[in-house]
């Protein structure tokens, strides 16, 4: 009888858990909680996948999923953003969104997060790599580290990197060296890296790799958006696009695609053909030495870059309204860029890829189509000429999804993190960890975290701006300075 009762309660409990499981791990992503250019946003270390994202008040939050026990932990508030507002805005135009975290796990298992800045501000000192800081909302690039290895419950600040950073990107090498790349200030600044050989406890001073400068005509300001990742062996790839900004002021223009590679043995750089580069790279030098694709007057935006067994780069960039395009270096030339999705949808695409061989590539892409957002894999077996679609991992009505770069050391169960689109009432967003079979589940009562925020909003009486106003405002504002 007892056994029967026990069995019945086990079955009941199991049914209840399954019935109450949801496919998101938290609902407290905020604004644009993650992006491919703040990366990695997750890393798998030993049994656990660690994820960092922007939560309420633009603060850095961390969750962890233990794949052995199938248990989630977090969200934990890891660090408070100087750019956050109280109460949380309900209009995304009032959220800076540049201070999103990048994260990594060092060789000893400590978790690092860099977040909280859009170029700093003049109170923090003189920015040697950019125009006077303070454009946007300033903030301060902040380096957090977990107090204990493999433990997200407590954090401290390590005051050892420049405060003038945005778009932080961690690249960790096989020997444990860490390169933290970022733009050293607002949009009119150099892209730099700081190197650490002691698990992020100290960093060497910033080194410039892409140079900002005012053109001779005095009105055009050369600037860049760049993406850095580990290449084959002891190398780092850089894929980037040109931002012809105005001086003074800002434009939304973005053009062309470029590539170069760093040899970490001596921190020298070369172009795709293997010719050594003199650093730091200016616009004229980039056009001459590192150009992949000249877009004319058509918009071109940054994407991601991964390498094959030969070390040859495969580059994803976004063309026009955000159409994912692909090109690869054959060893002697770049292939003609191809639209990955050829069914007529052309916008809102972004993602990352796994290069299995020079001809076989799997690309995980987010896209907008027919009033919904879709995330799924597109595969090529002919070197990128044609791409076949797999069944989507996630498909939801509405728009405004965000996707991160692939999780570092991903496993089939947890490969990429995405956030769901906005609802009309507020900017809190559900966050999903997607594996090869779709979203990782979590018990519903563990995944709800915005009750307090919703009550604060209700009390403040703040109402969202009507959609049409919001769209008009968005069109008038540089969304990505």
Residues 6+ away with beta carbon under 8 Å from 100? 32, 33, 34, 35, 38, 41, 53, 54, 115
Nearer to Zn ion, 225 or 410 (CB): 225
Q: Is 133 in the site for Zn ion (CB under 5 A)?
A: no
In the complex, least distance from residue 449 CB atom to Zn ion, rounded to whole angstroms: 35
Residue 98 catalytic? yes
In the complex, least distance from residue 294 CB atom to Zn ion, rounded to whole angstroms: 20
Q: Which DSSP symbol is given to 132?
A: S
Contact assessment for residue 119 and residue 164, using Cβ atoms and an 8 Å cutoff: yes
| C-alpha radius of gyration, the chain, whole number | 22
Among the listed residues 112, 250, 325, 442, the single contact to Zn ion using CB under 5 A: 250
Select the span of 6-14, 87-95, 132-140, 239-247 touching Zn ion (CB under 5 A): 239-247
Residue 255: how many CB atoms within 10 A of its CB?
A: 17
**Going residue by residue from 185 to 224, which x/- string records binding to Zn ion, judged by CB under 5 A?**
--x-------------------------------------
Contact assessment for residue 141 and residue 161, using Cβ atoms and an 8 Å cutoff: yes
In the complex, least distance from residue 37 CB atom to Zn ion, rounded to whole angstroms: 15
Distances (CA, A) of 375 to 6, 22, 345, 362: 41, 18, 13, 13
Residues 6+ away with beta carbon under 8 Å from 8? none
Per DSSP, what are the bridge partners of residue 158? 143
Q: Is 245 in the site for Zn ion (CB under 5 A)?
A: yes
Per DSSP, what are the bridge partners of residue 244? 222
Contact assessment for residue 260 and residue 277, using Cβ atoms and an 8 Å cutoff: yes
In the complex, least distance from residue 190 CB atom to Zn ion, rounded to whole angstroms: 14
Select the span of 12-20, 49-57, 245-253, 453-461 touching Zn ion (CB under 5 A): 245-253
Q: Tokens in use for 352?
A: 């990352």
Nearer to Zn ion, 469 or 479 (CB): 479
Select the span of 122-130, 147-155, 247-255, 440-448 touching Zn ion (CB under 5 A): 247-255
Marked catalytic residue, from 24, 167, 410, 432: 167
Q: Is 230 in the site for Zn ion (CB under 5 A)?
A: no
Residue 212 catalytic? no
Q: Tokens in use for 148?
A: 């204990």
In the complex, least distance from residue 252 CB atom to Zn ion, rounded to whole angstroms: 8
Binding site for Zn ion (CB under 5 A): 187, 245, 250
Q: Which residues are catalytic?
A: 98, 167
């Amino acid at each position: 009888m007892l056994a029967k009762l026990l069995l019945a309660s086990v079955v009941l409990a199991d049914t209840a858990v399954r019935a109450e499981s949801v496919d998101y791990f938290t609902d407290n992503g905020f604004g644009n909680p993650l992006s491919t250019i703040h990366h990695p946003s997750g890393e798998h270390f030993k049994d656990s996948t660690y994820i960092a994202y922007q939560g309420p008040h633009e603060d850095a939050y961390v969750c962890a999923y233990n794949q052995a026990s199938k248990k989630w932990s977090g969200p934990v508030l890891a660090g408070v953003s100087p750019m956050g507002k109280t109460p949380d805005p309900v209009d995304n135009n009032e959220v800076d969104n540049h201070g999103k975290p990048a994260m990594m796990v060092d060789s000893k298992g400590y978790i690092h997060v860099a977040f909280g800045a859009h170029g700093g501000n003049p109170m923090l000192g003189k920015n040697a790599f950019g125009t006077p800081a303070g454009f946007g909302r300033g903030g301060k690039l902040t380096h957090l580290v977990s107090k204990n290895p493999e433990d997200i419950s407590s954090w401290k600040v390590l005051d050892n990197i420049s405060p003038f950073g945005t778009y932080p990107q961690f690249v960790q090498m096989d020997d444990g060296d860490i390169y933290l790349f970022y733009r050293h200030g607002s949009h009119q600044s150099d892209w730099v890296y700081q190197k650490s050989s002691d698990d992020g406890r100290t960093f060497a001073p910033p080194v410039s790799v892409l140079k900002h400068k005012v053109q001779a005509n005095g009105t055009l300001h050369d600037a860049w958006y760049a993406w850095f990742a580990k290449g084959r062996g002891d190398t780092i790839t850089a894929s980037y696009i040109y931002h012809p900004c105005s001086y003074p002021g800002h434009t939304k223009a973005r053009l062309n695609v470029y590539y170069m590679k760093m040899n970490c043995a001596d921190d020298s750089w070369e172009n795709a053909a293997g010719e050594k580069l003199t650093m730091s790279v200016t616009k004229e030098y980039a056009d001459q030495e590192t150009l992949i694709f000249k877009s004319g007057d058509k918009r071109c935006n940054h994407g991601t870059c991964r390498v094959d067994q030969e070390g040859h780069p495969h580059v994803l960039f976004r063309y026009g309204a955000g159409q994912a395009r692909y090109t690869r270096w054959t060893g002697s030339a770049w292939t003609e860029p191809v639209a990955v999705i050829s069914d007529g949808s052309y916008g809102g695409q972004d993602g990352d890829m796994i290069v299995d061989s020079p001809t076989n590539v799997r690309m995980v892409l987010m896209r907008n189509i027919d009033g919904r957002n879709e995330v799924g894999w597109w595969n090529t077996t002919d070197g990128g000429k044609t791409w076949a679609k797999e069944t989507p991992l996630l498909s939801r009505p509405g728009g405004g999804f965000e996707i991160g770069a692939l999780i570092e050391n991903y496993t089939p169960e947890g490969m990429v993190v995405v956030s769901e689109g906005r609802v009309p009432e507020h900017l809190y967003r559900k966050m999903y960890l997607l594996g090869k079979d779709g979203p990782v589940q979590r018990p519903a009562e563990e995944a709800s975290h915005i009750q307090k925020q919703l009550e604060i909003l209700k009390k403040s009486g703040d109402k969202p701006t009507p959609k049409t106003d919001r769209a008009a405002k968005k069109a008038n504002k540089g969304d990505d300075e």
